[in-house]
Structure 1
Amino acid sequence: MTHLDAIRAAGVLAVLRAPSPEAAISAVGALVAGGVTGIEITYSTPDATEVIRELRRTHGENITLGAGTVLTAAQADEAVDAGATFLVSPGTEAALASAMLSTGAAVLLGAMTPSEVMEASRLGAHVVKLFPASLGGPSFLKALRGPFPEVPLIPTGGVNAANIGEWVAAGAVAVGAGGDLCSASAMAQGRWDVIEDTARIFADAYAQATYSEVSA
């Protein structure tokens, strides 16, 4: 299975902006217990590289683990060395894209407009991250599928358990979810039970959405 296949199989990528390394590690434990195994540790999390290293050590290949908010070539290299198998940048910039691709990891480049989708694809992105997806919603992603039927799109921003089915029906190959899945308040309060319960709701919603698509 390629790194991209693993992202598709995970379906839901939890985008973690944790307040501390300890909170990130505990939150991932809760997410996995709830059935969400796609994990994106953003570089806004303190000591993100060490968090990735520890998660790879403790969870092994049972999670699809990546780094998000990658803004420099050094971050890309460090993250992959620590065990990340995918890298996510919020935008598309040629030199950074080249550095990310050179690591051998799956590369997700951020885009919003048709021109940005074209540029991300031209630079070699394995997946285009539609961000912030809340600005256009599922109907915008569906519209992009017209001129770009072969470009894998993952929406991030505006994805919740109630609308996962709409994103899947619009053509998303997976979804990224941040605060609606793993909230800052739940992490700050150590409510890992809440995060686990929410993860279960997200995982069930995604499974139902993909089943409905296959059955349609």
Structure 2
Amino acid sequence: MTPSAELQALAPELHALAEAAVVAVVRAPDTASALRGVDALVTGGVTGIEITYSTPDAAAVIAEIDRRYGDRVLLGAGTVTTPGQATEAADAGARFLVSPGTTDELGRAMLGTGTTVLLGALTPSEVMRVSALGAHAVKIFPASLGGPGYLRSLRGPFPDVPFVPTGGVNADNLGTWLGSGAVALGAGGELCSAADLAAGRYEEIEDRARGFAEAVRQWRAA
């Protein structure tokens, strides 16, 4: 299918995620650098934003980004590992929640918030478990272990499961990932690293965001 046909076939909860195509996974050392990093990402053209719970005061950061940008960004919370974090993030304004792995208790709590839920998995057995829980999409993590070829292999037995690989995604291989069947992609250190945030290298983050945004445009035009 063409990218537009694939988008039309998605569940409503995933449309905004697919339109964003790239979700910047922000792991910041403090709230100030998280906010400035998000400003740089949005200026560069990346509007999918995931604030991880490894960021101090993650819920406060989410609330402030929601206040600043509203619907101009697709805002979510990542590294969600407890039911309390799921509820807190949703209350702060997160429109999607992402876990690195999955337990039944966590999955049910995340789905109970009414947000779009991406549950973490890697193996086929884990994909089956996540799908049975009712996740809107499966976060393949760490996707760098298998690359786009592994995603293509998973798509064989699971052609109808929406996958969002995270790890090992950069502007050069973005098109290969999307062409291998990813609904969207999570990009962390390759786009907005904790080291760059700590050092205040916001112009570099903005430049990389421009590169990712351009790679998405080129893939869609191809």
TM-score (norm 2): 0.93
Check the 8 A contact 2:13/2:136 in 1, yes or no: no
Deviation at 1:189, TM superposition (A): 1.6
2:212 matches 1:193: no
Alignment-derived partner of residue 122 in structure 1: 132
AA of the residue aligned to 1:29: D
CA distance in 1, matches of 2:56, 2:88: 14
For the residues of structure 2 that align with 1:153 and 1:146, how far apart are their CA atoms?
12
Point out 4+ residue stretches in structure 1 off by more than 4 angstroms: none
Query: In terms of mean alpha carbon deviation, does 86-95 or 180-189 score higher?
Result: 180-189
The answer to whether structure 1 residue 174 and structure 2 residue 184 are counterparts is yes
Confirm or deny: 8 A CA contact 1:3 1:85 kept in the other structure.
Answer: no
Aligned with 2:111: secondary structure? helix
Deviation, structure 1 residue 2: 4.3
Q: What runs of 5+ residues in structure 2 fail to find an aligned partner?
A: 1-10
Equivalent pairs counted in the alignment come to 212
2:23 & 2:74 partners in 1: Cα distance? 8
Superposition pairs of residues 1-216 of structure 1, within 5 angstroms = 2-212=12-222
Cα 1:3–1:24 change in 2 (3 A) is farther
- CA distance in 2 between partners of 1:193 and 1:7 (Å): 25
CA drift at 1:159: 0.5
Matched residue type, 2:84:
A
Distance 2:203 2:113 in 1: 36
Work out whether residues 21 and 183 of structure 2, in 8 Å CA contact, stay in contact via their aligned partners in 1: yes
Q: Calculate the aligned-residue CA RMSD, in Å.
A: 1.1
Work out the CA distance in 1 between the residues paired with 2:106 and 2:128. 16
Percentage identity across aligned positions?
62
